[in-house]
Structure formats: C-alpha cells, structure tokens
Amino acid sequence: MFGNKTITGSNLPTRKKITVLAKEAECYLSEANYEKSFITSRLALQQALTINDDYLIARSYKNIASTYEDLFEYEKAVFYYKKGLVYADKTRNDTIKHAFNNNLGNIYCFEKKQFDKGLNYYKKSLEYGYKIADTSQVFITELNLAWAYFYTKNFEKGKSYLDFINTYKSKYGDKTTMVALNMLNGMYYGEKAEYKKAKSFFLEAIKLGNEGDQKWDLSYSHEEYAMLLMKMGNYKEAYENLVLFNKIKADLDNSDRQKKANAAGVNLELDEYKRKVDVIEHENELQYKSLQQSRIIVILFLIISGVFLLLIYSLYKNYNFKKKKNSELIVANEQLSTAKEKAEVASQLKSQFVSTITHELRTPLYGVLGITNMLLDEHKELANSPHLSSLKFSARYLLSLVNDVLQINKIEENRIVLENLTFNIADEINMIKNSLSFIAKNHSNSINVNIDPKIPEYLIGDKLRFSQILINLVSNALKFTKNGDININAHLIKIENRLHYIEFKIQDNGVGIAEEDQEKIFEKFVQIGRKEIDYQGTGLGLSIVKRLLELFNSTISLESKIGEGTTFTFTIAFDYDTIKTTSLINNIQVDLTTGQMFKVLVVDDNAINQLVTKKIIEKHNYKCTVVDSGLSALEILETAQFDVILMDINMPLMNGFETTRRIRKKGIDTPVIALTAYDKEEISEEAISAGINDILIKPFAVSLLVKTINQLIYKVKEGTLV
C-alpha cells in the first residue's frame, strides 16, 4: 500500500484522485475513525508530494494535524499544522491559510495557554478570512478572539470582536456557536455589572447548550454563570451551577478518556505513522534532490550542448569562411598567374621587340656607317664636309644607342654570362686610353694610367665586359672635363685564394655631379642637363656600368663635387691562373699580313652591305667575289675555290647557318666567318653546330676582319683549324 512508487509519467496520480482521498480522510476524522483518517491522509500526502501540489500537500498535513489534535496530541498537531502552513503559504488559497492559522490559534490559546502566539495566529487567520470575503469563516475566528480576550480578562479588547459576532449572529451563527456567543455576552455584561442582562445571556446559553451537542460550551457556561452568581451574592445558585459544571465536565472527561482509550490502539501506532510520514517526506526529499540533480545534469547537458553547438557553428562558419577565402585565393592566384603569364609574355614580347628592332636597326646603320667611310675614303676632298661628319656622328650615335639598349635588355633578361678569358690588364687599360685619345684631345684632356705593379701581368676574367665598364666611365670623364686630367688607377687591395681584388678609380677634375643627382645618374635614360656642354649621350652608360658590375658581384661608388671633379670607384675580383697564362704566352701572335692574295667569298643579300664588305676586302688586297644568297654560294662553290667565306646570317630563303651546313655536307672545309648584327652569345651555339669557324659582329673594325681572316687562313695552312 505504501510501496516506493517512483515517479513515472503515466503512473502519476491526478489532483482529482488526491482530492477524493483528502475528502475521504476528512470524513474519517469527522467520524472519529482516526486510524483510517491517518492512513488516508498519509496516502493523499504521498501522492500530493509526488505531483508536487502545494495545496494538496497542505491539505493532507492539515488532516494529519487535525487527527492528532482530536487525539489530544497537541505537540504533534502543532508540528504538522506548521509544516502544512509552509505549503499553504506557497499557494494562493486563502481559505486553507485561514484554517491553518485559526486552528493553530485554538491550540495555542486554549490548550497551550500561550495567548500571545495564539492571538497572532487568530489575527492572521482573520486577515485571510477577510480576503476570501467569507464572513462565516471570519465569524468563528472573531468569536475565538473574543473568547481568548475575555478568558484573559481583557474585556476591552475583546469587545469589538463580541460586537462583530453579535452583529452577524443571525446570519452566520448556528447551534454550534450560539452557546458560546451567549456565554461570551454573559461574561461581558457580568464584567460590566449589568447582571440582569448577563443573567439572561447565561440562561439562554445554558438553554441552547442543553438542547444541542455543545456540551463543553454548556459546561463553560455553567462555570462562568456560577462565577457571576457568586459575584451577585447568589451563592446557592452559584453552587448549583458549579455542580452542573463539574458533572458535565466529568462526563465529557469520561468520554474523552473513552476516546483516548479507543484511540490507544491507534496511539500505539502513532509513532509508527509519524515515522512513515517522515519516510514519505524523506523519499520525497530524495526524489526532489535527485530531481534537482537530474535538473542540474539536464541544465549542464543543455549548456554543454549549447557550447558544443556554438563550437560546431563557429567551426562551420570558420570552415565556410576559409572555404570562401580559399576559393577567393584560388581565383586571385589564378588571376595572378594569368597576370604573371601575361606579364611574362608581354616582357618577352617587349624584349623580343627591342631585340628585333635593334637588330634590324643595326644592319642599315652598319651600311650607313660603311658608306660614309667609303665616301670619305674615295673622296678625300669631303673629309672636311660638315654634312658628312654630321652624318657619321649621327650614325655612330644611333649605333651606340642601339647597342646600349640591346645590352640593357640582355642584362635585364639575365642573358649575359661572364666569360673567363686570359688578358693583360695593363694592355687593356692602355688600349682603352689609346682608343679614347681622340676625344681626350678634343677637350684638351690628358689621360693618366696608374697600375699597381703588384697586379699580375695576366689575369682571368671577362675582359670585354670589364673594358666596356672602363670605356663608359673614362669617356664620361672625358666628356665632362675640359683642360683637365683623367686618372685611371688600378690598385691591388687583397688576394683571396686565387682571386685578386683590384680597385679601379676613374678620376676627373671636370664639372662634377651635384649631390642630389648622384643617385639618379645610375637610372636608365637619366641625363643631367648641362647647358655649357653640348654632348650627345644616351643616358644608358652608367646604368649599363652598374648592371655589368652587378654581374661581377661588385658595386660602384662615386665621389663628386660640383666644379671640382668626380671619382668613380669599383672593385673587381679577377682570377689568376699561371698554367692558363703560360699557355697564352706561348701562343705567339703571328703576323699574317703577308700581302698574299687570298680569295674571299662574300655571301650577303643586302646590296649596301655587299658593297661595304667588298670595299674593305679589296682595300686589303684580297680578291672578293660576292653572291646574294645561300643557293648562289653553294652553286659557285661547285666550281670555284676560296680561302675564306664571309657569310651573312640573316638571309631570306636560306640563312647563313643552313648555307654553311650544306657547304660542310659537300665536304668543303673552307673557313666560314659569320657576319651578323646578332650578339655572339645568341648565335654561337648554332654557328658551331652549323660548322661556322668564327663570328664577327657588325659593325666590325676593319682590322678585326683582316685579323680574323688571316688567322683562319693560317690555321688552315697549319692544319690546326677545328
């Protein structure tokens, strides 16, 4: 019956069922069936606790407390009333709150005789009574209050309550309250010495008491009436009433005893009941705790899930963000790589364009220069013609510009690789000095060369690039100096392994360079405007110098003061190798200008070039045959023999490489010198594979052409031609 029922959704008792149980318990109590009242209210309590219904819990406690009260177990009654009151206070039901307070007031005032506490409970009960606007409930409490005050002889305070019950007696008074009401009036008027009035009230109370069931009230009425009669001096009647009081009380005590005796069986079990109620409460507490715990677990779970969801959400967002960024990056990368490709293509196109244009320019320029020279040679009277010299100057200027642009272009494309050649540094510098002596004279400058004797005679390095650096710097010095000195200093500063670090200083005492221009002049096409000096430059010289020095892993520095002069300084590490040097020294230069008549075949499609080359060849006493295509060359070689072939590379239909290849196929070993506007590096591989023996870059120095021709013919004769 009292099994440990756990809370499961479907088995939960309904409010209705519990209310029925509570009512049942109240019925048992009114029938004085205490045991059943206990069992039923305890069951109601257990079920009310399981569904956590404060009102029904309070009501069950009230029934338990009332049962104890009926069994004179006031302590326990107070205990359960108070417990119930806690639950009742949680509800909005003022009726039950009123009942709890009223009952507690009863016990405190009339059983425990603690009037202060009791009165407080009554007053609280009254507050709730007024709230529920149920004057019948209020009526009883007001009556109780009046009685409590009168009992303690506090008639003034009790009067207002008496007035209230007198006012409402016809409406709310019934047989159960009328005895007490009349008795209280009797007491009041007795106190006020209105004996007649008092007497009639007491007599009415006794009359009603005898008619009804309110035997306790009847007994008290006799007692109080006896006291009034005593006061009135009517001792006989007073005695008679006291006898009646005692008799009724004795009867009632008897029946109470009987009741107690009846309840004894119950009493024995009272503690057991209490213990069981405690167990119910304990279980409920445990359930509550576990409910709390599971609530905490659920809350924690929810929080963790929330955090987890947030985490997943942020991961998801992050992932999406990354994905988006990644795809953006991929797109950007693609765009970049296409842009890069485009830029590369553009740059390739640009350099191709520059290289094609410059090559194309070099060929006609070569013609212009050649023809100018021819004109000067043939018509000595024109030597002083300003037009001709201006033509020659312009052609040279154009050629140098074209060469400079080509070179810068090549450096920027990283197409220049330094060569390692053995050379004599002193010779090289002096050669430069000599070749520039003409410009030096023009400006009345003198060039002084100062070479450290510690520098070995022969060094290994790219002498061509080195010369170019030096030529640029010295010719600048010459251009910007008048009546001055230009010093070329070479100084050995250190030797590391075989590397000889030589510091070069090109010093002039010319116009100088302003400080603010000293950085700029190394940029491409930068020239500093100089009104006083009329010179032609491309603005590329120093940028070529700077870039060439970078190839040598070197940098250039400059010191200059306006009006005082300029010094450019740089250091180059040249290799020094005795074995190479010795072999070079042993390779004696042979002068082959024997005046012997050699036969030269010139293969060139350009009429002007044909003319220029022919003139040069014939001027040096060689016999020259000219053909204008590769095919004609092959044809003529069928019948005629030549000592050397000068082969133009750029020819339509069959270029110089192809022609040479075919010549070699025929088994003709005649040395072939390629004449081209291309740079040596660009074509040397193909030239070698085609069977070309040497390459001359247009425009070439006549002496170089003669020297090359002679060397090759000499090698053929020696049998050393490779």
Q: Which residues bind ligand ADP (CB under 6 A)?
A: 476-477, 480, 508, 510-511, 513, 521, 526-528, 530, 537-543, 566
In angstroms, give the least distance from the CB of 528 to ligand ADP.
3
**In the complex with ligand ADP, which residue's Cβ is closer, 564 or 635?**
564
In angstroms, give the least distance from the CB of 665 to ligand ADP.
47
3-state secondary structure of 506: strand
**In the complex with ligand ADP, which residue's Cβ is closer, 247 or 530?**
530
In angstroms, give the least distance from the CB of 561 to ligand ADP.
11
Q: Residues 6 or more apart from 45 whose CB is under 8 A from it?
A: 57, 60, 61, 64, 277, 280
Contact 690, 658 (CB under 8 A): yes
Q: Residues 6 or more apart from 362 whose CB is under 8 A from it?
A: 399, 402, 403, 677, 698, 699
In angstroms, give the least distance from the CB of 398 to ligand ADP.
13
In angstroms, give the least distance from the CB of 518 to ligand ADP.
9
**In the complex with ligand ADP, which residue's Cβ is closer, 144 or 403?**
403
**In the complex with ligand ADP, which residue's Cβ is closer, 476 or 609?**
476
Q: Which residue has the tokens 């060689």?
A: 622
Query: Read out DSSP for 377-434?
Result: HH-GGGGG-HHHHHHHHHHHHHHHHHHHHHHHHHHHTT------EEEEHHHHHHHHHH
Q: Sign (positive/negative) of CA torsion 184, 190, 193, 197?
A: positive
**In the complex with ligand ADP, which residue's Cβ is closer, 536 or 583?**
536
Measure the CA–CA gap between 231 and 212, rounded to whole angstroms.
Answer: 28
3-state secondary structure of 16: helix
Measure the CA–CA gap between 434 and 704, rounded to whole angstroms.
Answer: 17
Backbone angles phi, psi at 447, to 5 degrees: -105, 125
Measure the CA–CA gap between 687 and 668, rounded to whole angstroms.
Answer: 16
Contact 43, 2 (CB under 8 A): yes
Query: If phi over 0 gives left and psi between -120 and 50 gives alpha, with beta otherwise, what is residue 330?
Result: alpha
3-state secondary structure of 693: coil
**In the complex with ligand ADP, which residue's Cβ is closer, 566 or 609?**
566
Type of residue found at 492: L
Q: Residues 6 or more apart from 330 whose CB is under 8 A from it?
A: none
In angstroms, give the least distance from the CB of 393 to ligand ADP.
15
Q: Residues 6 or more apart from 267 whose CB is under 8 A from it?
A: 71, 260
Token pair in block for residue 484: 């001055």
**In the complex with ligand ADP, which residue's Cβ is closer, 212 or 539?**
539
Which single residue brings its beta carbon nearest to ligand ADP? 537
Beta strands 485-496 and 499-508: pairing type?
antiparallel
Total Cβ atoms within 10 A of residue 217 = 24
In angstroms, give the least distance from the CB of 501 to ligand ADP.
24
In angstroms, give the least distance from the CB of 506 to ligand ADP.
8
In angstroms, give the least distance from the CB of 571 to ligand ADP.
19
**In the complex with ligand ADP, which residue's Cβ is closer, 490 or 513?**
513
**In the complex with ligand ADP, which residue's Cβ is closer, 115 or 568?**
568
In angstroms, give the least distance from the CB of 402 to ligand ADP.
13
Measure the CA–CA gap between 369 and 640, rounded to whole angstroms.
Answer: 32
In angstroms, give the least distance from the CB of 481 to ligand ADP.
7
Q: Count CA atoms within 13 Å of residue 188 on its CB side.
A: 22
**In the complex with ligand ADP, which residue's Cβ is closer, 232 or 526?**
526
Measure the CA–CA gap between 669 and 390, rounded to whole angstroms.
Answer: 44
In angstroms, give the least distance from the CB of 562 to ligand ADP.
9
Per-residue H/E/C for 314-380: HHHHHHHHHHHHHHHHHHHHHHHHHHHHHHHHHHHHHHHHHHHHHHHHHHHHHHHHHHHHHHHHHCH
**In the complex with ligand ADP, which residue's Cβ is closer, 3 or 529?**
529
In angstroms, give the least distance from the CB of 475 to ligand ADP.
8
**In the complex with ligand ADP, which residue's Cβ is closer, 59 or 443?**
443
For residue 700, which of 631, 616, 627, 623 has the smallest C-alpha distance?
Answer: 616
In angstroms, give the least distance from the CB of 586 to ligand ADP.
40
In angstroms, give the least distance from the CB of 468 to ligand ADP.
12
Measure the CA–CA gap between 60 and 49, rounded to whole angstroms.
Answer: 10
In angstroms, give the least distance from the CB of 387 to ligand ADP.
25
**In the complex with ligand ADP, which residue's Cβ is closer, 419 or 564?**
564
Measure the CA–CA gap between 533 and 556, rounded to whole angstroms.
Answer: 25
3-state secondary structure of 164: helix
Measure the CA–CA gap between 150 and 164, rounded to whole angstroms.
Answer: 15
In angstroms, give the least distance from the CB of 380 to ligand ADP.
32
In angstroms, give the least distance from the CB of 512 to ligand ADP.
6
Measure the CA–CA gap between 41 and 35, rounded to whole angstroms.
Answer: 10
**In the complex with ligand ADP, which residue's Cβ is closer, 93 or 518?**
518
**In the complex with ligand ADP, which residue's Cβ is closer, 358 or 566?**
566
Total Cβ atoms within 10 A of residue 199 = 19
**In the complex with ligand ADP, which residue's Cβ is closer, 176 or 444?**
444
**In the complex with ligand ADP, which residue's Cβ is closer, 365 or 486?**
486
Measure the CA–CA gap between 669 and 601, rounded to whole angstroms.
Answer: 13
Give, for 59, the enclosing helix (H) or strand (E).
helix 54-70
3-state secondary structure of 641: coil
**In the complex with ligand ADP, which residue's Cβ is closer, 301 or 525?**
525
